[in-house]
Structures are given as C-alpha cells and as structure tokens.
Amino acid sequence: MFLRSSYLTILLNASAFAQQIGTCPVFPADSIWNTRVDQLSVHPSSASWVTTIGPAAVLHPDFGAGLWNGGPIGIPFITVPGTQTKYPATFLYQSESDPGPYAVPLNAPIEGGSASTGDRHAIAVDTTNCILYELYRAFPQTASWRGDSGAIFNLNSHALRPLSWTSADAAGLPIFPGLVRYDEILAGEIKHALRFTVPQTQRAYLWPGRHYASSQTGTQYPPMGARFRLKADFDISAFSPTNQIILTALKRYGMMLADNGSAWFLSGAPDSRWNDTDLRALRNIQGANFEAVDTAPLMIDVNSGQARQTSVFVTVNPPAASVQVKQQRQFSATVTGSSNQAVTWDVNGVVG
C-alpha cells in the first residue's frame, strides 16, 4: 500500500460473508461450508481412504462450457425472486423430502439437459428470501414437479437435515454451496468447501453429512461428509490463474464427499465462460496429492452446521492503493474466524 496522506479510513465490515449469492449469504460465515481446514490435523484414516478412492486416479473438473451428450457440463442452478411461483412436488422418497412447494420454475435448467437419464438435479435460489431449493431426479409436470427427493434450506440458518435423511444429494448435504462458480473466479477467490464424488463409500457418514448410500462396512471406504484437502506442499504455481483459484480453495477449504460417482470428480456450475482446455490441466493432479482432514474439533453440535472457529483470517479490499494528499480512501476488511476478534493494522509499518 502506498500512502501519501494520513487521511486513511479503514472500516471493518462485520456483515460480510465468505460466500454470497445476490445479497444472500450461502449459510452463515461460521458454517462448516465456509470454514477453512488448512490448519486441521490429518484424519487417521486418510491414507486408507485415498488408497481406496485411487491414489493414481486424477482430479476431474466435472463442469465447463458447452455441451456434453447434449446437456450442460456441470450442475446448473437458477436464481429467482421472492415472487417466483411455487409448485407442489411429489417424491419417490417422500418421507425424507421436504414437502414444498418449491420455487423452482418448470423450465429451470436440468443437470444433463432435459433428456438426461442421470441425476437430473434442478436447483433454484430465492435471492429475496434467501431460500435454497434442490431437487434430485427432477421431472417437470404440467404444474408441478416429480422427483426422487427434494430439500429446502434457509441460507441464513445453520440447520442440517434431520439425522439419517437424504437431501437432493446422497450425503444429505446441500449441493449449491459446494459448486465451483465462474463468478467466484471473476471475484478472484473461492471461500468455501467444494463438492466431490468417489466410486465407493462406507455405510456411514461424518458430520455434517446426514445420510449414507452404501452397503460397504469396511473402514477403508470413506464415509459421506468426509473432508479432503489438497496437500499444502503441492506446487500450484505452474497452473493458470483460474486453476490456481480453484486449487487454493482446495488447499484452504477442501472438498466434501457428497455422493457416489467417479473418483475425484469435482462439482461446478456450467458456464459459457469456462475454458475447457484450461480446466483439463487440473487432471494433472492425482488422488495421492490429497489428504483427509479431521473436522471433529470444529463440531459444536451434531445437529448444526455451525463450526468452531479456531483461526482468524483478515482480507482487505482493495489490497493496495495510492492515496493523494488530503484525500481519503475507504477500505473494507473482512474478518473470518471470530466475531469478536480485535484486529491491529498498520500502513507502511505505522501501526493504526
């Protein structure tokens, strides 16, 4: 920072959130989704789980631009206003689904396209009321939705699904907060955990996971909700700026195991601005470059997504500025990790 005047104002923005959509937080700042895990201990089962998933299998960005098999590449979502029409929904797993109605337009984008035979996730975010709607195996009807399961989340809340309930995802977790979104690339930082899949999981789940989807009882299989991170010593300097943003998030926030699928498949939202050739460079990263972390110390309540904050991180925006004589420049500082943490700052070595 280059300072040519003592008239400098720095304001702490206590209402800033780690992740936002519109004016809504994507869960509170101290949600487990928005909590860094780069200082946590390695999980005792890490080596075993990585071996089972595949140490030589490569990271696969399961999102991009254009079409694949006629559908968008990734899990799409749509934002809607509070006036969006809500539609009734019926589900195969009705007893573990929120009854609705769902503010998901009947023409909402479907994962894999309208003719998809896959997971067919449909996601809508009400950015007026900060409500997230998610459907699995979603089929629009004349004036309703039919699907296998559905879940509704209050983005201002720490509430988890009822214990043992599924959601629109096998782990009983929300999908949207774990997606890589291109608007985050434009912002220069991803400040939340990501979502990924593996071929075989354990008949168990770890907080904040709420549901399993397996008959495997061997402890060599990772349970739903397990959190992995890219190892700190993995050199990302040769990757593109876009990929470095993704890889930095994988080091800091890691990724949560959310579903059965292909090994190390990383979820994101389709966007015409992705460079698919550039994203393919992420496949140079192998499973052996990841490790599972022990998130148990972060848990405050098994039925809450609130995470104990053990570290404090401060982000100042803009990170540097030249201020003219007798002029002011306002800075915002986002403090995550403690709501009552005092911050000492200085300008060119002069403590403020």
> Residue 242 — left, alpha, or beta (φ > 0 → left; ψ -120 to 50 → alpha)?
alpha
Letter string b/e over residues 273-297, b meaning 16 or more CB atoms within 10 A of that residue's CB: ebeeeebeebeebbbebbbbbbbee
User: In Å, how far are 110, 178, 182, 185, 251 from 272, measured between CA atoms?
Assistant: 16, 19, 9, 13, 26
Letter string b/e over residues 165-190, b meaning 16 or more CB atoms within 10 A of that residue's CB: bbbbbbbbbbbbbbbbbbebbeeeeb
Is there a cis peptide before residue 208, judged by omega within 30 degrees of 0? yes
Residue 11's pLDDT band (boundaries 50, 70, 90)? very low
Task: Of 266, 265, 267, 270, give the one whose Cα is nearest residue 72.
Answer: 270
The token pair that represents 277 in the structure block: 């050739």
Average pLDDT over residues 318-334: 74
User: What is the predicted pLDDT for the residue at 347?
Assistant: 65
DSSP per-residue letters across 282-340: GGG-BGGGEEEE--GGGBS-TTB-BB-----EEEEESS--EE-TT---EEEEEEES-TT
Contact 327, 321 (CB under 8 A): no
User: What is the predicted pLDDT for the residue at 311?
Assistant: 62
Contact 87, 152 (CB under 8 A): no
User: What is the predicted pLDDT for the residue at 15?
Assistant: 37
Which percentage of the chain shows pLDDT scores above 90?
A: 81
Q: Residue holding tokens 């403690």? A: 338
Residue 6's pLDDT band (boundaries 50, 70, 90)? very low
Which percentage of the chain shows pLDDT scores above 70?
A: 87
Residue 310's pLDDT band (boundaries 50, 70, 90)? confident
User: What is the predicted pLDDT for the residue at 339?
Assistant: 46
Q: What mean pLDDT, rounded, does the chain reach?
A: 90
The token pair that represents 180 in the structure block: 């890589």
The pLDDT tens digits for 138-194 are: 999 999 999 999 999 999 999 999 999 999 999 999 999 999 999 999 999 999 999
The pLDDT tens digits for 229-285 are: 999 999 999 999 999 999 999 999 999 999 999 999 999 999 999 999 999 999 999
Between 318 and 24, the more confident residue is 24
Residue 313: pLDDT above 90?
A: no
Contact 140, 107 (CB under 8 A): yes
User: What is the predicted pLDDT for the residue at 1?
Assistant: 39
Task: Of 328, 304, 329, 276, give the one whose Cα is nearest residue 162.
Answer: 304
Average pLDDT over residues 71-96: 97
Helix (H) / strand (E) containing 210: none
d(CA 293, CA 207) in angstroms, rounded, equals 12
Task: Of 284, 280, 184, give the one whose Cα is nearest residue 230.
Answer: 284
User: What is the predicted pLDDT for the residue at 134?
Assistant: 98
Alpha-helical segments (H) within 111-206: 182-187
Q: Residue holding tokens 């090994």? A: 263
Residue 13: pLDDT above 50?
A: no
Residue 3: pLDDT above 90?
A: no
Residue 9: pLDDT above 50?
A: no
User: What is the predicted pLDDT for the residue at 318?
Assistant: 75
The token pair that represents 275 in the structure block: 């460079």
Residue 84: pLDDT above 90?
A: yes
Is there a cis peptide before residue 101, judged by omega within 30 degrees of 0? yes
